[in-house]
Structure 1
Amino acid sequence: MSRPFHHGNLRAVLLDEATAVLREHGADALSLRDLARRAGVSHGAPRSHFVDRRALLDALAERGFLRLAETIRKAAESTPDDFARSLHAAGSAYVAFAAAEPALLDLMFAAKVDSPSETVHAAAAQLFLVMSDIMATGVAAGVVAAHEADRLALLLSATVQGIAGLVTSRRITVAQSEPLIADAIALFLFHKLPEP
């Protein structure tokens, strides 16, 4: 189904269409020619924004990382006076994003892992930066030791990604993920990391 677009927003329309295809059919179904048809433009028009299919996939991954980072940031900020609840809100938001966008999450973490494009690398860094910022609030509250903050941010990210993977593979439900997130946070808050 084609959508009208105004000069200057074709890239956004193409990414929206690509996201819809990704949700419905997976990454293998994505092609620039099909996106052009869906957007109602000539088959060469997408190439002015994406030189090839890889560039399209990178743009989707970049957009996904930025969306996820913003989703997590907003969730954590919804409970600013309670660090444990902020962590839980961030973890729950991550899992909810994964459940809603499993193909996108797979694409984000598969996007040229060995040599990601600069834009994908920068967008992925934003996700970790948000997790680090959340952990910094724990340092400010005296709950997290400053020297452990980066390690805990990475460990929490890996743990929540693992829980999200269980949800997207349908090993557990989103509801079943909630106590796992709570358990992980309890471990982070009440157990010390071993010395490096």
Structure 2
Amino acid sequence: MKIDHCSNSNPDSVRMRSRTGLVKLELSSVRMRMPRPYHHGSLHGALLEAAERILRRDGIGALTLRSVAREAGVSHASPAHHFRDFAELLSALAAVGFTRLRDRMAAEAATVRRGGGARRRGLGRGYVAFARENPNLFLLMFRSDQLDRMHAGLVAAREAAFALLAGENPDTTRLLAATARWSLVHGLSLLAIDGRLQSIASRTALSDEQILDAVLSADAGRRPAPAPAPTW
């Protein structure tokens, strides 16, 4: 068999002569089908995306550096070039979560009419909605036993999310009030993830969304009384 480069057509083509005739091979089409290597700097984000896919699909117990590398389609040694250790990868992923949490709260608050009370309820609904939509990521964000608390990106993202609840430069009174609101919405989020709000709703004439709105509005006392207390 003889191989000739095509000179009067596509330079990315070759002709192969054989006893059965002339075959033209387009190299460009072959190149398009070959897997592309990661561009410089993109593997960091690809590893985080792979980690989140595993977290969402299989839970935190399935996350390891090896499983993330396998999910991303790279060698087992590749994550070490971007993350010092497993805790750093988890911390970077948690930072992504806090950034999304802040965005979700801000988006929900932007849909309500002006007013401190309405805005706070909007922030609370956004907080709980994020937890419901991303339960495994939400739980990871508060797993201090597996995260690097001093990770710069995590600290910045976490503080930005809390600042949305507390406001800018809060004094002690506002800081304590924000902590109380945070405790409320965080507890509601855990109840929602665990299915407890649905359990309570099944014993009342309210939906779990109505219960959530009632609690966030500090108006639960004027709602219909529930049936016998749920069995925990």
TM-score under structure 2 normalisation? 0.67
Greater mean alpha carbon deviation, residues 168-177 or residues 2-11: 2-11
SS of the aligned residue for 1:56 comes to helix
Aligned mate of 1:165, from 177, 183, 190:
190
User: Higher strand share goes to which structure?
Assistant: 2
Task: State whether structure 2 residue 158 is matched by structure 1 residue 133.
Answer: no
Relative contact order: is structure 1 or structure 2 higher (C-alpha 8 Å, sep ≥ 6)? 1
Distance in 2, Cα, partners of 1:112 & 1:86 = 33
Q: Is contact 1:160–1:181 with CA below 8 Å preserved after alignment?
A: no
Alignment of 1:19-30 (within 5 A): 19-30=52-63
Task: State whether structure 2 residue 204 is matched by structure 1 residue 179.
Answer: no
Partner of residue 143, structure 1: none
Partner of residue 11, structure 2: none
Q: CA deviation at 1:75?
A: 1.8
Greater mean alpha carbon deviation, residues 115-124 or residues 59-68: 115-124
Task: State whether structure 2 residue 182 is matched by structure 1 residue 148.
Answer: no
Greater mean alpha carbon deviation, residues 149-158 or residues 125-134: 125-134
Alignment of 1:32-111 (within 5 A): 32-79=65-112, 81-111=114-144
Distance in 2, Cα, partners of 1:103 & 1:5 = 28
Give the gaps of 5 or more residues in structure 2.
1-34, 202-206, 220-232
Distance in 2, Cα, partners of 1:28 & 1:114 = 14
Q: CA deviation at 1:85?
A: 2.4
Work out the percentage of aligned pairs sharing the same amino acid.
Answer: 34
Distance in 1, Cα, partners of 2:156 & 2:174 = 21
Matched to 2:159, the amino acid is: A
Greater mean alpha carbon deviation, residues 100-109 or residues 70-79: 70-79
1:68-111: CA deviation from partner (whole Å, max 9, x where unpaired): 11211222133352333222221111111111111111111113
Does the C-alpha gap of structure 1 residues 109 and 178 become closer, same or farther in structure 2, counting only changes over 3 Å? farther
Does the C-alpha gap of structure 1 residues 91 and 157 become closer, same or farther in structure 2, counting only changes over 3 Å? same
Q: Is contact 2:97–2:138 with CA below 8 Å preserved after alignment?
A: yes
Q: Which has the higher Rg, Structure 1 or Structure 2?
A: 2
Q: Is contact 1:3–1:40 with CA below 8 Å preserved after alignment?
A: no
Matched to 2:58, the amino acid is: H
Q: Is contact 2:65–2:76 with CA below 8 Å preserved after alignment?
A: yes
Distance in 2, Cα, partners of 1:101 & 1:3 = 31
- The aligned length equals 177
Does the C-alpha gap of structure 1 residues 131 and 29 become closer, same or farther in structure 2, counting only changes over 3 Å? same
Does the C-alpha gap of structure 1 residues 106 and 3 become closer, same or farther in structure 2, counting only changes over 3 Å? farther
Q: CA deviation at 1:4?
A: 6.8
SS of the aligned residue for 1:65 comes to helix
TM-score under structure 1 normalisation? 0.78
Q: CA deviation at 1:112?
A: 3.6
Give the gaps of 5 or more residues in structure 1.
137-145, 188-196
Partner of residue 204, structure 2: none
User: Higher helix share goes to which structure?
Assistant: 1
Q: CA deviation at 1:114?
A: 9.7
